[in-house]
Structure formats: structure tokens, C-alpha cells
Amino acid sequence: MIIEQKVYELPSEDQHKLQIVEIGELKKFETQFGTKEKFAIKILVTDQKAEKDGGDMHVFLSVTPDITATKATLVRFLKRLKVNVGKSFDPEELVGLNFRASIAHNEGTGNNAGKTFANLVIDTVAPLTTSKATVESV
């Protein structure tokens, strides 16, 4: 028996239509700055399928549960989506949200050296309005 490392097909480096499909559980990670808590946002690439098997393609956004730091990835992501949060926020409310953004491929570092990842370019995130979605699909 030969066991090989699974290689995931990556969505193209381009602008894509996307949908948030799942919010991961809060997990602890060791970083150079100590232990940090993060959760993953699972995002479906709705306008591209895997070439090998025609299956769904996903990207993940890993964020800290911080809605106060203006430079935090989650805060920047929510602002780009035009999602207003008050003193508290339930990330599960994001499930089903459609938006568009560019995807870039980045090489992993450390334990992930030699792997390539598809990442959202946060500064390109924009909500899909009903009217725009209708116009774009024509």
C-alpha cells in the first residue's frame, strides 16, 4: 500500500463569485507571539469547479475572533462586506452570504513549506447585490 499526500486543486488566480458555507470551531494555535485563538471561514467558489472530478472548490479564511482591532483580518473582511457589528457578533450569521473577491496563490512557510495555498485578497472583497448578481449572470 502506498499512501500519498493529498493535493487539492486550487481555484484560478482571478476574480471569483464566492459564498460563505461554514464557520469552523475556535481552535488554539501556537505562534511566535504566543498562543492565539482562530477559526476558519469556509468559502465556496461558486463560479469554478475542479477540473479533475467536477467537484466543488473551497478557500479558507483563518481569523482571530477580534472585532475591535481595526487591522484584524476579520474586521477588514467584515468592513469590505459592509457587515456592521456592534458589541457582539455571531459569525454563523455570515453563512449563505455571497460576495466576490480575487484569489491569489501563496507559497506556505514553516511546516507548510513547499505547499501552495489559494487565499482571498481582502482588499478586493465586495458584496454581491441582488441586482448586480442578476446583471452578471446574464
**Secondary structure class of 130 (helix, strand, coil):** helix
Give the C-alpha separation, 15 to 47, whole Å: 10
In 3D space, the residue among 66, 59, 58, 69 whose CA is nearest the CA of residue 26 turns out to be 66
pLDDT confidence band for 81 (50 / 70 / 90): very high
pLDDT digits (tens, 9 = 90+) for 21-48: 999 999 998 888 899 999 999 999 999 9
Q: Cell digits for 77?
A: 473582511
pTM of the model: 0.84
* Contact predicate 49/58, CB 8 Å: no
Give the C-alpha separation, 42 to 19, whole Å: 9
Residues in the chain: 138
pLDDT digits (tens, 9 = 90+) for 85-133: 888 889 999 999 999 999 999 998 888 888 899 999 999 999 987 533 3
Give the C-alpha separation, 23 to 44, whole Å: 12
At which residue does the C-alpha cell 478586493 appear?
124
pLDDT at 21: 97
pLDDT at 7: 73
H-helix or E-strand spanning residue 78:
helix 73-80
- Write the DSSP symbol of residue 111: G
